């Protein structure tokens, strides 16, 4: 079987998850004996692959971003690309067309009509989900064209499937759900490369940068860690009004080369950051619960958490410390960095411990509380 | 006749102080004298003094019909000498009655057998010397740390001149056989005395458990159980701290013990003997233990000490320091290394909370968590390694030797 995949990007050119997805998918497909022709817009960087036939189309595109100012330019590039795509692909023979997201749907539908080959449209994201209050009608129209004409639709989650049905009116019978695999190792390698982390150990702070979250204590502890352990980087994921102050603090402490501010991390990206970290620190001054602690533990990352958090009552396989005791905090972080067997032991036990903390159980307990209130 | 052997194990470790990574290389003390003193004095008040008093009374009262046996670790004696020397006198008084048998063990209550045979033998000899000096007593029976046992251990102990050795009466090697007989170790002519764990644990663990169906346990009921037990010997082996420390005075443990001899001796076929008496008895069969067993936890193996990755890491590091200790030739550092071998330190790192949690927790009340215990221990080992290297490098470089790294 020969599949024509109409894509958008491919390593080394990657702007988001789509490129990673296409790389991993085509690699696995060819390993399983499927012929793949992967088509994408030609850009500045040359794309190469030894396991898949890559076809680059066009003179060298620069799409820019699709905000209002550049909308016309962006639209023009998309149209050009789609036209060239159709022309180029008519030289290829294939059994099925697999179109990755709205940018190529126009060409995909035309190719289907010309060749009579079945079309699969892949929904990675839709405009209504990206900008629910102000979707760009141009994109919505492209999406509708693709999904209405597709013989089969692959949605990357049931949530996506529901959105396709509810927001775009797509026939649910032709949607199948196939989840994306998170290739953690790849993500980690890429992240390390992009941020110049080498083989540094990583200590993570993830949360808003507000006083009650204690990010300043985190930096003070970082300073003490660095004095004993050089090969480490401290990631601060999140934004908040303390950001400028924290940047200044890192400079004043002389550890600005050891601290990286990542900015806001979207919900679905969080697990990746826990997983690449060697230690997760929650230095909160006051934290009613601290769900991030459970998320980190679930990801297998050992945690150093403030005693002033609800989560510290729940997780036993964790280091607990008073938020103001930065010496102790540093000592515990250091221990986890210096003694990997301890980190692994804590990770294993932590995962086991929180298994019982499912939403299902929490609902059951809540129902029990309701019943107690109602029936006494 | 069924002989009842009551053997008590007396031990306190030198607990470590909180030793942070920032203490490494700063000359900070390893052991927490204040904490050790506090715990020792508490145990002396709650257990050692009243229990010794009680046993002495019973021995005198029954004029040789009541006998007990003891093993006492070197680390306990060291602390007694420092914090409460009267206790040494108190044990000497007991031994002088002639109705108390003593057992040898490793001086440091250590896992030395797993470090090297040489280290093991040295620690046994240290203990032997200690007992000779303090009690003018030469034990004939040996108890390895936490009743750690195997065919090989039995052979080594036999080579050291002992006639008997203690082990757990565990079904995995007993099979259908009863622990209530004297056995012989496979592969060496040494008698094997197996703990009746059920009857021992009835006192040491279950005595004050309110949800136990036999609660409360009275001396006459317990004596009736002993009387109804088939076999030639009932080995009741337990930590001495059972009396007053694990089971508080308020549970009635001392009253139980006070009345036990009269109820046991009321049965004509029961008597008390010291553990040395068992050496003369005929072994009914041979016991084959080709792997390590112990009396700890539900598993009766080494998993209480070497069950998780932290414990294995810590123990391997400790073991690896042996050659450094030899080369450094520093008495103080050697003593520190040996004190670190005390099995309690590695026991504190155990993460088998879910089944055996309560017992582990009891013994490690001063340790915040197994992770702290590990980190503390490793920090100390790092410091010790540095100190050993500092001794080795100047000396050996004179001879042109270059120390290999771990």
Give the mutation candidate from A221, A297, A318, A341 for the B interface (greatest B CB count, under 10 A): A341
Is the residue at B222 inside a domain? yes
Residue A367 belongs to a domain: no
d(CA B116, CA B384): 19
The pLDDT of B84-89, averaged and rounded, is 98
Q: Are residues A217 and A147 in the same domain?
A: no
On whether residue A372 sits in a domain, the answer given is no
Verify that B75 and B211 share a domain, yes or no.
yes
Give B283's DSSP letter.
Answer: P
| Lookup: tokens for A184 | 């953690």
Residue A290 lies in a domain: yes
| B232 catalytic per annotation | no
Cα nearest neighbour of A350 on chain B: B351
Residue A185: how many CB atoms within 10 A of its CB?
10
A229-242 pLDDT, tens digit per residue, is 999 999 999 999 99
Higher pLDDT, B321 or A21: B321
Are residue B333 and residue B216 in the same domain, yes or no? no
Domain boundary among B254, B287, B320: B287
- A371 in any annotated domain: no
Query: What six digits make up the tokens of A292?
Result: 């991030």
Q: Please answer yes or no on whether A341 and B313 come within 8 Å at the CB atom.
A: yes
CB contact under 8 A, A345 and B371: yes
A344 contacts in B (CB within 8 Å)? 309
B355 band by pLDDT with thresholds 50, 70 and 90: very low
Say if the Cβ atoms of B369 and A335 lie within 8 Å. no
Neighbouring residues of A164: CB distance < 8 A, sequence distance ≥ 6: A123, A126, A147, A153, A155, A170, A172, A175
Backbone dihedral angles phi then psi of residue A308, each to the nearest 5 degrees: -85, 40
Picking from A181, A209, A231, the residue at the C-terminal end of a domain is: A181
Question: Smallest Cβ distance to A345: which of B309, B353, B378?
Answer: B309
The model's pLDDT over A114-132, given as tens digits with 9 standing for 90+, comes to 999 999 999 988 888 777 7
Within a domain: A363: no
- Give residue A304's domain range: 186-358
Q: Is A335's CB within 8 Å of B353's CB?
A: no
Assess whether A111 and A41 both reside in one domain: yes
Q: How large is the average pLDDT for residues A60-72?
A: 72
Nearest-CA residue of chain A relative to B379? A335
Among residues B157, B194, B161, B160, the alpha carbon closest in space to that of B178 is found at: B194
Residue B406 lies inside a defined structural domain of this protein: no
Q: Which of A26-35, A155-164, A191-200, B196-205 has the lowest mean pLDDT?
A: A155-164
Band of pLDDT at residue B357, cut at 50, 70 and 90? very low
Domain contains B297: no
Chain mean pLDDT for chain B: 93
A162 and A190 both lie in a single domain:
no
- pLDDT given for residue A371 in this prediction: 82
Instruction: Note whether B118 and B236 are same-domain residues.
Output: yes
What stretches of A89-148 adopt beta strand conformation (E)? 96-100, 119-123
Test the B interface: residue of A342, A346, A353 with most B CBs within 10 Å: A342
Q: Which long-range contacts (CB under 8 A, 24 or more apart) does A240-248 make?
A: A240/A208, A240/A209, A240/A210, A240/A213, A240/A215, A241/A209, A241/A210, A242/A209, A242/A210, A242/A211, A242/A215, A242/A216, A243/A209, A245/A216, A246/A209, A246/A215, A246/A216, A246/A219
ipTM computed for the complex: 0.86
Are the beta carbons of B288 and B186 closer than 8 angstroms? Answer: yes
Of A316, A317, A331, the CB nearest to B21: A331
Instruction: Kindly state whether residue A368 falls inside one of the protein's structural domains.
Output: no
B235 and B100, same structural domain? yes
Q: Is the pLDDT of residue A192 over 70?
A: yes
Which parts of B98-242 are beta strand (E)? 100-104, 141-142, 164-168, 182-185, 191-195, 233-239
Domain assignment present for B109: yes
Q: Say if residue A185's pLDDT is above 60.
A: yes
Q: Are B342 and B278 in contact (CB under 8 A)?
A: no
| Within a domain: A89 | yes
Instruction: Kindly provide the residue ranges of all beta strands, DSSP E only, lying in B176-319, ordered along the sequence.
Output: 182-185, 191-195, 233-239, 270-272, 286-287
Residues A140 and A82 in one domain: yes
Contact B374 A339 (CB under 8 A): yes
Is there a contact between B22 and A317 if contact means CB atoms under 8 Å apart?
Answer: no
Kindly state whether residues B257 and B347 are assigned to the same domain.
no
**CA dihedral of B128, B132, B134, B139, whole degrees rounded to 10:** 60
Q: Based on the fold, state whether residues B37 and B181 are members of the same structural domain.
A: yes
B358 pLDDT above the threshold of 90:
no
Contact A270, A296 (CB under 8 A): no
Q: Measured between CB atoms, which of A228, A317, A342 is closest to B375? A: A342
Query: Which residues lie across from A35 on neighbouring strands?
Result: A2
Q: What is the pLDDT of residue B354?
A: 44
Beta bridge partners of B4: B234, B272
- Please check whether residues A200 and A99 belong to one and the same domain: no
Which residues neighbour B126 within 8 Å (Cβ) at sequence distance 6 or greater? Answer: B74, B107
- Residues B25, B67, single domain; the answer is yes
Question: Which residue of the set B84, B119, B146, B168 is catalytic?
Answer: B146
Radius of gyration for the alpha carbons in chain A, expressed in angstroms and rounded: 25
Tell me how close the Cα of A37 comes to any Cα of chain B, in angstroms: 48
CA distance B205 to chain A (A): 25
pLDDT tens, residue by residue, A263-308: 998 877 788 899 899 999 999 998 888 888 988 998 889 999 999 8
Characterise B393 by phi-psi region: left (phi > 0), alpha (psi -120 to 50), beta (else). alpha
**Same-domain status, A56 and A149:** yes
Residue B300 lies in a domain: no
Contact B21 A346 (CB under 8 A): no
Domain shared by A195 and A322, yes or no: yes
Determine the distance in angstroms separating the CA of B18 from the nearest CA of chain A, rounded to an integer: 11
pLDDT recorded at residue B406: 45
User: Residue for token digits 């989840």?
Assistant: A179
Q: Do B22 and A228 touch (CB under 8 A)?
A: yes
φ and ψ at residue B137, rounded to 5 degrees: -130, 140
The position carrying tokens 């050659």 is B323
- Tokens at residue B218, please? 């009275």
Nearest to B383 by CA among B99, B23, B85: B23
pLDDT band at B398 (very low <50, low <70, confident <90, very high): low
Does one domain contain both B214 and B360? no
How many angstroms separate the Cα of B232 from the Cα of each of A347, B189, B197, B267, B280? 50, 20, 16, 14, 13
Q: Are strands B2-10 and B233-239 parallel, antiparallel or unpaired?
A: parallel
Mean pLDDT for B12-31 is: 94
Report the CATH number at residue B231: 3.20.110.20
Do residues B311 and B277 share a domain?
no
pLDDT of residue B86 exceeding 80 = yes
Number of domains making up chain A: 2
d(CA A153, CA A124): 11
Q: Which residue of chain B comes nearest to A335, CA vs CA?
A: B375
CA atoms within 13 A on the CB side of A71: 7
Domain range holding B329?
Answer: 307-398
Neighbours of A112 (CB within 10 A): 21
> What's the whole-number mean pLDDT along residues B187-211?
95
Q: Which of B64, B106, B66 is nearest to B338 (CA)?
A: B106
Rounded to an integer, the average pLDDT of B309-338 is 96
Cβ neighbours, 10 Å, residue B379: 25
pLDDT over 90, % of chain B? 88
Interface test with B, best of A228, A318, A333, A345 (most B CBs within 10 A): A345
Distance from CA of B314 to the nearest CA of A (A): 9
- What gap in Å lies between CA A363 and CA B1, rounded to an integer? 63
CA distances to A321, B168, B197, B205 from B201, rounded to whole Å, are 38, 12, 6, 5
Residues A14 and A150 in one domain: yes
Does A142 share its domain with A283? no
Are B194 and B317 in contact, with CB atoms under 8 Å apart? no
A71 — pLDDT class (breaks 50, 70, 90): confident
Q: Examine residue A49 and state whether it is found in any structural domain, yes or no.
A: yes
Q: Please state the φ and ψ torsions of residue B374, each to the nearest 5 degrees.
A: -65, -50
- The reply to whether B321 and B217 lie within a common domain is no
Regarding beta strands B191-195 and B164-168, do their DSSP bridges make them parallel or antiparallel, or are they unpaired? Answer: parallel
Q: How distant is the Cα of A294 from the closest Cα of chain B, in angstroms?
A: 19
B248 located within any domain: yes
DSSP three-state, residue B313: helix
Residue A347: closest CA among A283, A278, A289, A288: A278
Is the CB of residue B249 less than 8 Å from the CB of residue B212?
A: no
CATH number at residue A33: 3.40.50.2000
Same domain, A177 and A190: no
What is the C-alpha to C-alpha distance for residues B347 and B305, in angstroms, rounded to an integer? 5
Sheet strands (E) in B206-360: 233-239, 270-272, 286-287
Closest to B352 in 3D by CA, of A307, A316, A151 = A316
CA A81, CA A83: separation in Å to the nearest integer? 5
Instruction: Check CB contact under 8 Å for B351 and A228.
Output: no
Residue A346 CA to residue A332 CA, distance in Å, equals 12
| Same domain, yes or no: A21 and A143 | yes
Q: Which residues of A touch B (CB under 8 A)?
A: 228, 316-317, 319, 327, 331-332, 334-335, 338-339, 341-342, 344-346, 349
Cβ neighbours of residue B331 closer than 8 Å, sequence gap 6 or more: none
Does one domain contain both B320 and B274?
no
Q: How far apart are CA B238 and CA B173, in angstroms?
A: 21
Domain boundary among A181, A215, A250: A181
Q: Are residues B377 and B264 in the same domain?
A: no
- Residue B106's pLDDT is 98
How far off is chain A from B316, nearest CA to CA, in Å? 12
Q: Which residues of A touch B21 (CB under 8 A)?
A: 228, 331, 334-335, 338
CB contact under 8 A, B378 and A339: yes
Measured between beta carbons, the chain A residues lying within 8 angstroms of B312 are 341
Number of domains in chain B: 2
- Residue to substitute from B316, B375, B379, B382, interface A, most A β-carbons within 10 A: B375
Span A219-234, mean pLDDT?
96
Q: What burial class does residue B165 get, using C-beta atoms within 10 Å of its C-beta: 0-12 exposed, 13-18 middle, 19+ buried?
A: buried
Residue A74 pLDDT: 83
Say which of A317, A335, A349 has its CB closest to residue B21: A335
CA distance B403 to A296: 42
**Average confidence (pLDDT) over A242-248:** 96
Q: What is the mean pLDDT of residues B140-157?
A: 97
Same domain, A204 and A163: no
Q: Which residues make Cβ contacts (< 8 Å) with residue B298, sequence separation at least 6?
A: B355, B356
Residue B356 has a pLDDT of 43
Three-state secondary structure readout of A133-202: CCCCHHHHHHHHHHHHHCCEEEECCHHHHHHHHHHHCCCHHHEEECCCCCCHHHHHHHHHHHCCCCCCEE
Question: Which pLDDT score, from 0 to 100, does residue A52 have?
Answer: 85
- Is residue B403 included in any domain, yes or no? no
Mark yes or no for CB contact A341/B312 under 8 Å: yes
User: A5-24 b/e with 16+ CB inside 10 Å = b?
Assistant: bbbbbbeeebeebbbbbbbe
Out of A64-73, B144-153, B367-376, least confident range: A64-73
- If you compute the radius of gyration of chain B from its CA atoms, what whole number of angstroms results? 21
Instruction: Among A156, A181, A206, identify where a domain stops.
Output: A181
> Residue B374 and residue B313: Cα distance in Å, rounded?
9
Contact B369 A316 (CB under 8 A): yes
């Amino acid at each position: 079987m020969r599949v024509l995949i109409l894509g958008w990007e491919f390593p080394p050119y990657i702007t988001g998850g789509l490129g990673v997805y296409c790389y991993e998918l085509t690699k696995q497909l060819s390993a399983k004996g499927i012929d793949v022709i992967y088509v994408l817009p030609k850009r500045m960087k040359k794309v190469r692959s030894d396991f898949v036939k890559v076809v680059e189309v066009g003179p060298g595109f620069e799409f820019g971003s699709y905000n209002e100012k550049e909308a016309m330019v962006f639209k023009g590039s998309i149209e050009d690309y789609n036209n060239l795509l159709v022309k180029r692909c008519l030289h290829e023979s294939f059994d099925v067309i697999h179109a990755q997201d709205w940018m190529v749907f126009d060409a995909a539908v035309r190719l289907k009509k010309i060749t009579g080959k079945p079309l699969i449209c892949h929904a990675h994201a839709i405009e209504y989900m990206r900008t629910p209050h102000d979707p760009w009608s141009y994109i919505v129209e492209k999406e509708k064209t693709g999904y209405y004409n597709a013989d089969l639709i692959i949605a990357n989650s049931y949530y996506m499937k529901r959105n396709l049905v509810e927001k775009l009116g797509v026939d649910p019978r032709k949607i199948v759900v196939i989840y994306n695999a998170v290739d953690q190792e790849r993500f980690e390698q890429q992240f390390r490369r992009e941020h110049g982390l080498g083989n540094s150990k990583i200590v993570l702070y993830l949360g808003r940068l507000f006083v009650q979250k204690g990010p300043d204590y985190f930096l003070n502890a970082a300073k003490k860690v660095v004095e004993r352990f050089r090969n480490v980087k401290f990631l601060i994921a999140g934004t908040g009004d303390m950001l400028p102050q924290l940047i200044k603090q890192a400079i004043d402490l002389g550890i600005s080369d050891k601290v990286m501010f990542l900015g806001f991390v979207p919900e679905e990206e969080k697990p990746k950051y826990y997983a690449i970290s060697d230690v997760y620190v929650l230095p909160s001054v006051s934290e009613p619960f601290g769900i991030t602690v459970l998320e980190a533990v679930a990801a297998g990352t050992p945690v150093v958490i403030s005693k002033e958090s609800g989560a510290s009552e729940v997780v036993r396989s964790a280091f607990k410390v008073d938020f103001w005791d930065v010496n102790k905090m540093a000592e515990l972080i250091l221990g986890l960095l210096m003694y990997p067997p301890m980190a692994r032991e804590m990770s294993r036990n932590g995962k086991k411990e929180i298994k019982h903390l499912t939403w299902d159980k929490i609902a059951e307990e809540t129902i029990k509380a309701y019943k107690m209130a109602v029936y006494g | 006749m069924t002989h009842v052997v009551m053997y008590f194990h007396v031990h306190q470790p030198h607990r470590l102080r909180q030793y942070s990574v920032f203490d490494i290389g700063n000359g900070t003390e390893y052991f927490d004298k204040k904490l050790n003193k506090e715990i020792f004095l508490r145990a002396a008040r709650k257990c050692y003094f009243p229990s010794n008093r009680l046993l002495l009374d019973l021995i005198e009262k029954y004029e040789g019909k009541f006998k007990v046996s003891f093993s006492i670790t070197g680390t306990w004696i060291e602390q007694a000498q420092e914090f409460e020397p009267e206790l040494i006198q108190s044990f000497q008084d007991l031994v002088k009655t002639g109705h108390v048998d003593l057992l040898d063990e490793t001086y440091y209550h250590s896992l030395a057998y797993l470090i090297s045979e040489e280290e093991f033998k040295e620690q046994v000899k240290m203990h032997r010397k200690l007992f000779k000096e303090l009690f003018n007593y030469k034990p004939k029976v040996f108890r390895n740390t936490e009743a750690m046992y195997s065919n090989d251990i039995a052979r080594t102990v036999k080579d050291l001149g002992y006639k008997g050795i203690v082990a757990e009466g565990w079904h995995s090697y007993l099979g259908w056989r009863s622990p209530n007989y004297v056995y012989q170790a496979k592969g060496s002519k040494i008698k094997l005395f197996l703990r009746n764990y059920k009857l021992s644990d009835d006192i040491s663990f279950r005595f004050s458990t309110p949800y136990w169906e036999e609660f409360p346990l009275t001396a006459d009921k317990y004596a009736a159980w002993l009387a109804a037990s088939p076999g030639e010997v009932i080995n009741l082996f337990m930590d001495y701290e059972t009396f007053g420390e694990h089971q508080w005075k308020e549970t009635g443990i001392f009253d139980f013990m006070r009345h036990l001899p009269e109820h046991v001796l009321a049965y004509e076929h029961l008597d008390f003997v010291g553990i040395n008496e068992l050496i003369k008895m005929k072994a009914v069969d041979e016991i084959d233990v080709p792997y390590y067993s112990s009396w700890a936890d539900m598993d009766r193996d080494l998993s209480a000490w070497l069950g998780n990755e932290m414990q294995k890491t810590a123990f391997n590091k400790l073991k690896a320091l042996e050659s450094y200790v030899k080369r450094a030739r520093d008495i103080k550092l050697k003593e520190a290394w040996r004190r670190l071998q005390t099995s309690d330190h590695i026991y504190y790192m155990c993460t088998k909370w879910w089944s055996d949690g309560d017992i582990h927790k009891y013994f490690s009340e001063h340790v915040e968590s197994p992770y702290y215990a590990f980190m503390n221990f490793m920090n100390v080992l790092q410091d010790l390694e540095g100190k050993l290297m500092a001794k080795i490098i100047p000396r050996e470089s004179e001879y042109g030797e270059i120390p290999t790294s771990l």
